[in-house]
Amino acid sequence: MARCLSFALFLLLSNSVLAAVRDNIMPSHSHDIWDAAVGFPGGYVYSITQISDGYLWIGTSKGLLRYDGLTFVSIRASESSAGFPGLGLLTDSADQL
């Protein structure tokens, strides 16, 4: 009888210890939603690449974007307001766009 009581107490204590450890685990990955609220102009995303300086270059149906982790900058082909679609992005041997 004493063994059963000891075993039950052990199970209760180990469960509370494991629950406390599980609550302290920090996720190693996260994700952001890119929408108009954060400056993403919308459209289809065709390609994404990152170059050595850390910028993400995003080819979309509304044009080419540069993302630094906080803000999106639209890269225009000319002074017109119409963007050009960025269907594919490649980097060279020097890791440049």
Which residue range(s) make up the domain with 96? 30-97
46 occurs within a structural domain: yes
CA–CA distance from 69 to each of 22, 40, 84, 86, 89 (Å)?
A: 30, 12, 23, 20, 18
20 occurs within a structural domain: no
- What are 68-88's pLDDT values in tens digits? 988 899 887 665 455 567 777
How many C-beta atoms surround the C-beta of residue 59 within 10 A? Answer: 21
In this prediction, residue 67 has a pLDDT band, given cuts at 50, 70 and 90, of very high
CA–CA distance from 31 to each of 2, 34, 41, 52 (Å)?
A: 51, 10, 18, 21
10 occurs within a structural domain: no
17 occurs within a structural domain: no
Q: How many structural domains are present in the chain?
A: 1
Residue 20 pLDDT > 80: no
Q: How far apart are CA 49 and CA 27, in angstroms?
A: 24
86 occurs within a structural domain: yes
95 occurs within a structural domain: yes
Q: Say what the pTM is.
A: 0.60
Residue 12 pLDDT > 80: no
